[in-house]
Chain A
Amino acid sequence: MSITVTGTIQRRDIGMGAWAFVTDEGTTYEIPRSADKKLLQAGQKAKVTGQVREDVMTSAMIGPVLEVKSFEVL
C-alpha cells in the first residue's frame, strides 16, 4: 500500500531508540533507521511517499513501518 502523508519526524526513546513519523491526522508510523539522514531529524516537517509494510515487525513497535520512497522537507 503506497501512501503520501505529511507530518512530523519524532525521536522515540523506546528500546534502542526509534524514528516516528506522526501524520497531521495523528497516525504514527515507524521509519526505519536506514532512511535518508536528511529526513530523520527530530521535529522536521515533511511530506513522505512510501510503502506501509504489513509484513514487517520491529523491536520498537511504535506503529506500522513506513518504508520511505521519496520525501520533501516542508
Chain B
Amino acid sequence: MFVIGLCAALFNFVNFQGLGAQGEFDTLLLDFREDIPSTKLQQDLDKISQQFNVTPKLDNKFSKDDNVYIIKGDKARLKQLRSEFAKDTEFIEPNYIYKIPKQGQVARLAEYLDPRPEEAREPGVSFTGANDPYYSKQWHLHNIYVEGAWKQTKGSGVTVAVIDTGVTQVRDLIETKFVKGYDFVNDREKANDDNGHGTHVAGTIAQATNNSWGVAGIAYEASIMPLKVLSDYGGGTVADIAEAIRFAADNGANVINMSLGGGGESQLMREAIDYAHSKGVVIIAAAGNEDANGAAYPARYPHVIGVSALGPDGERAPYSNYGAGVDISAPGGSDAGKVLQATVDMDNKGEEVFLGLQGTSMASPHVAGVAALVRASGVENPDEIENVLLGSARAIHEDALNYYGAGQLNAEAAVKQATEGQITFQDFWRWLRENGYLNPRFWIDGGAYALIPKLLMVVGSYLLAWFLRVYFPFSWSWSLSAGLLFGSSGLFPLKGLYIFDLPQWPFRVLGSSIPELGNAIQGTDAFNPIFASVLIPLGLVALLLGHPKLKWFAIGSSIGIATCLGVSSFSDPAVWGLGAGWISRIFLLVNAVICYGLAHFIVTNEEKTAQ
C-alpha cells in the first residue's frame, strides 16, 4: 500500500507541476533491448549521433549490461526518437532530474513536505540541532533527544558494523566515514546495497549531518562498516551472518547493528555473538515484526540488546514483538509517521530517495547510534554501555507485557550518564548493576537459569520433607533447611550474577545445587553422573550421621537432591556419557528414588532410636 500510495503521490505531483513547463530534464534515457545483436545496437547509436549531433553515453558502469544510454535532448527529440527506435528499445524516457533534496522535487518525499508556502519557510533556523533541510521531519531523532547528546559527542572514533543488505554511499552518506567491509552474499569486498534496507539503516546511525543536505543521523562522526549478508530480497543465512559478526569483531567494530531476524536457535551464531561480546563489541538487534510475545533470534541471544519499536505517539508500534528478549524500545515508526532516511530505490534503478520506512529494523539502529555516542563518551565495556543505555531510558511504569524493556531510548540522558560517570542507583539491584552485571533476562524470563524447574525443586523438596514429617514427626532445623536448599537448587540467583573483572565460576558454584557441583566450574549444562547420584548423600550420611545437628543437613540434602534429580529427569535430563534421552532420565529418576529412600530410611531409624 505504501508503494502504491507513493506512486499515486508521484503521479499527482507530476500532473500538478507539469514537468514540461518546469523543464526538468535536459537528457533522455534510451534502454535498448538486450536481445538485439550488438551490431544492430551500434548501427542505432551511430544513426542517433549523426541525426542529432550527440554522443550517446552509458548511464553508469552498471548500465552496460542493460544497454542504457543517455543523450542530450528535449521533448521534441523524445517524440522523434520514440517514433523511430521503438522496436529496438524497451523504453525511451526523459531523464528526470531528481537532484535531491531541493524541496518539492522528490516525489517520494511528498508526504513529508512542508505544507507551508515556500516564502513562509525559514530555511534552517526552526531548529538548533542540524541544518539538514529535512531534519525537521525526523520526529524519531527529536524523540530520542539527540540534540542534547550532540553537545557532548557525535560518535567520533567509534566504528559501527551494519550487518544488513549492504550500504550504498548515497549523496547523504558521502561525508560519512566508512571503513572496509565485506559482501558475504557475493564474496567480495565492496558491500553495496541492492535492496535499500541497509542504506536506510546506516543512515539512521550516521547519515551525514550539518551538511545542508537531506536528513540527519545520530552518530554522524562515527564510521560505518558495511557488511552485506542479506540478498537483494532481504534474506540471508545464519552462516553468513555469524561470519559477519566475527568479521566485525576482528576488524575493530565497536558496535554491531543487526536489523534482521528469524530462523531457529543456532550454536554457530550464539558462539559468534559470545566471541564479539568477549572482544568488547556491543551488539544490538531488532526484536522482530510479528506482533508476537518474545523477540526473534538474534535479539533473544544473551549479550544482544533486543529493541522493540515505537510509533510517533510513543506507543509500541502495532507490528513490534514484545516480551522476553526486549531490552529497550526506540522509534521504529508506524503508519502515523515513519522513519525518514536516504536510501536507494531498487524499483527505480537504484535511484537515490528519501524514504519513510517502518519496522523494528528502523528502531534498532537508533539504539546502535546512541551506543556509539556512549562508546565515544569513554564507556568501553559492552555490558557497561548496555547498562547506560537501559539505565538512562525513559521508564514506562505500566508495562506488564514488556513492550518497552527498560524504557524508551534517550540519547541525551545516556550520553550525560556516560560522560559524568555517575551511575547513581538507589536500590540494591541498581547497585549491583554498577558493580557488576545482573543478567536483565533475570527480570524477564529468568533466562540465565530455568526459573520454573528451580522453584519446583525448592518447593518440591519442602513438600517431600513435610510428607516425611507427617508420618515420622521430627522438628525443623536450620541444618535440615540448609540441606533441602543446597540439595535441591542452591542459591540459584547467584548464577546470574557477573562482577566485572572477577571470574564468574564462584557464583556458579555458590548458585549450584549439590548435584550440579560436578559441572558448575566448567559451566556446562549436563550433569556429572557422580555428583548427580546417590553417592554424595551416602557420603554425607556416612560423615554426619554421628552428629546430632549436622545429620539433619545430610537428611535435608538427600531429600533436596531427590527432588533436584526428579525434576531434572523431566525438565533437563542431560548427563555426561548418558546423553539427554531416556537412559539419563531413568538414571536420574532411579537415583532420585534411592535418595528419597535413604532419607526415609534414616528418618524411620531416627524415630526408632528416639523411642
A74 on the B face (CB < 8 A): no
Complex: A15 Cα to B298 Cα, angstroms: 18
Q: Which residues on A sit within 8 Å (CB–CB) of B235?
A: 30, 32, 53, 56-59, 65
Q: How far is the CA of A33 from the CA of B346 in the complex (A)?
A: 13
A59–B2 touching, CB < 8 Å: no
Contacts of A73 in B (CB 8 A): none
* B603 contacts A by Cβ under 8 Å: no
B140 at the interface (CB under 8 A from A): no
Q: Are B230 and A58 in contact (CB under 8 A)?
A: yes
Q: With the chains together, A5 CA to B250 CA distance in Å?
A: 43
Which residues from chain A contact B358 at a C-beta distance below 8 Å?
13-15
B 272-286 binary contact with A (CB < 8 Å = 1; else 0): 000000000000001
Query: Contact string, B1-17, partner A, CB cutoff 8 A, digits 1/0?
Result: 11100000000000000
Decide: A58 near B260, CB < 8 A? Known: A14-B319, A16-B196, A32-B233: yes
Cβ of A46 under 8 Å from chain B: no
CB contacts (< 8 Å) of B261 on chain A: these are 57-58, 61
Q: Chain A binding site: helix, strand, loop or mixed by DSSP? A: loop
- Judge if B288 is at the interface, Cβ distance under 8 Å: yes
User: Is B302 engaged at the interface, CB distance under 8 Å to the other chain?
Assistant: no
In the bound complex, CA of A15 to CA of B338 (Å):
10
Stretch from B21-29, B153-161, B236-244, B581-589 at the A interface: B236-244
Cα–Cα, bound, A28→B562 (Å)? 44
Interface residue A55 (Cβ < 8 Å from any Cβ of B): yes
Asked whether B195 lies within 8 Å of A55 as measured between CB atoms, the reply is no
Binary per-residue interface labels of chain B (228-272) against chain A in the complex, 1 for a CB within 8 Å, 0 otherwise:
001011111111010000000000000000011111101000000
B289 sits at the interface (CB 8 A): yes
Inter-subunit contact B359/A65 (CB<8 Å): no
- Interface: A54 (CB within 8 A): yes
Expressed in whole angstroms, the minimum distance between the Cβ of A57 and any Cβ of chain B is 5
Q: Is B366 an interface residue (CB 8 A)?
A: no
Number of B interface residues at 8 Å Cβ cutoff, please give it. 43
Check A59 against B241 for contact (C-beta < 8 Å): no
Chain A residue with the shortest CB-CB distance to B296: A61
B297 at the interface (CB under 8 A from A): yes
Interface size on A, residues (CB 8 A): 26
User: How far apart are the CA atoms of A16 and B165 in the complex, in Å?
Assistant: 11
Residues of chain A contacted by B236 (CB below 8 angstroms) = 56-58
- Residues from chain A with a CB closer than 8 A to the CB of B387 are none
- B290: which A residues are within 8 A, CB to CB? 28, 61-63
Give the contacting residue for A61; candidates B2, B233, B359; CB below 8 A: B359
**B262 lies within 8 A of A15 (CB):** no
Which residues of A, 19-74, contact B by the 8 Å Cβ criterion?
28, 30, 32-34, 53-65
B357 at the interface (CB under 8 A from A): yes
Q: Is the CB of B233 within 8 A of A33?
A: yes
Chain B hits for A14, CB < 8 A: 289, 319, 358-359, 361
What residue in chain A is nearest B236 (Cβ atoms)? A57
Which of B195, B234, B264 sits near A54, CB closer than 8 Å? B264
In the complex formed, the residue of B with least CB distance to A35 is B233
Q: Which B residues are in CB contact (< 8 Å) with A33?
A: 232-234
Task: Let me know if B327 is at the binding interface, CB within 8 A.
Answer: no
Instruction: List chain A residues, Cβ under 8 A from B533.
Output: none
Interface residues of A (CB under 8 A from B): 11-18, 28, 30, 32-34, 53-65
Nearest first, the 10 closest Cβ-Cβ pairs linking A and B are: A33-B233, A54-B264, A59-B234, A61-B261, A61-B288, A58-B235, A13-B2, A15-B359, A57-B262, A59-B197
A-B CB contact pairs (8 Å), 29 listed: A11-B1, A13-B2, A14-B289, A15-B259, A15-B357, A15-B362, A17-B2, A17-B3, A33-B232, A53-B235, A55-B237, A55-B263, A55-B264, A56-B236, A56-B262, A57-B230, A57-B236, A57-B241, A58-B261, A59-B195, A59-B197, A59-B359, A60-B361, A61-B288, A61-B321, A62-B319, A63-B290, A65-B235, A65-B262
> 8 additional contacts, CB 8 Å, given A13-B2, A15-B259, A55-B264?
A14-B289, A15-B289, A16-B234, A59-B197, A59-B359, A60-B234, A64-B262, A65-B262
